[in-house]
Amino acid sequence: MQQRNSRIFKSLLYVMLLVVMVYVVVFMPTPYMVNQPGSAEEIKPMIRVAGGDPEEKGTFMMTTVSVTYANVAALIASQFNSQAQIVRKTPEQGGKEYETQQIYYMSDSQSSAMAAAYHKAKVPFNIVSEYVFVVSLSKSNPPKGDFAPGDIIRKVEGQALTRFEQLSGILKTKKAGDRVSVELERDGKTLSQQAELIPLKDPATGGNRAGFGLNIGELRKVKSVDPKQQVEFAHTQVGGPSAGLMFTLEIYNQLTPGDLSKGYRIAGTGTMSTDGTVGPIGGVQFKIVAADREKAEIFFVPEDNYKDAKKKAEEIGTSMKLVPVKTVDDALNYLSKLKAKAG
């Protein structure tokens, strides 16, 4: 009997040890992330221009970085992956605030790409502010009210909001400690509250002003004067601003006659300003690998990222042509001189 109890005890002990090991390896969070090559996705299915020219024998592709919040198993596996990079997670990464920021950056990137493409194609358009929303809560001056990242601020003191300037105008006669009525939209539901204003530094004057303690974004939509040339984006799970350049090229290709791709598989990265300036991005080395895996033949890279991109391209031995650009005009000029691909 004693021997049997001893066997049962040992069996239970083994099971407990196994459970602990599984938890540590699979479920226990770590302060690290693993960055590695993501995807190179065709943009045409993401964008539609009602009266646009659909001709495209080649393809334009956006590139991404895969970011994984690492468990112990992922950290171990990354040691055997030459393209993986372990980085320490920063406090702002993860959670609703980070997700809201990435969605905002993507939305802003799409709007900037539309404006830049409309400008180059000489399509009249207007920029319309749709709403103001909460991007994040201030860490140094937290709000005194029920606010969450992603909340749309519909009204303050009974006045509808669509632009930053309107909020400043409503609060300019208020002081810290005053309570104001706020109407929010959260997950499709309307929430009303009385929020207390707090003292905030005014960067314009150097003095104090009353505010909520929120980092706020303004969602703007670019509207074509001609509805037939209105650009519509399909929903995407990708966040961030780095697809701006490639969005612009795809939109311009649909707005203008002919095939800008000329039969080539064209990938790239870079932020886009409404004036056509291409800005640098992070993780270009991962995007080079992602594009090469999808057999891209040309890769547009922001000039500031060219050195790192060239180093990675040489490391993996790709035949992909790297083209450094400062503006969307640089990319368009390169494509205009490119001979159409045979076959």
Amino acid making up residue 133: F
Q: Which of 78, 109, 242, 261 is catalytic?
A: 242
Residues 23, 2 contacting (CB under 8 angstroms)? no
Is 287 an annotated catalytic residue? yes
Is 11 an annotated catalytic residue? no
Q: Which of 287, 310, 312, 339 is catalytic?
A: 287
Residues 241, 109 contacting (CB under 8 angstroms)? yes
Distance of CA 72 to the CA centre of its chain: 27
What residues are annotated to the active site? 242, 287
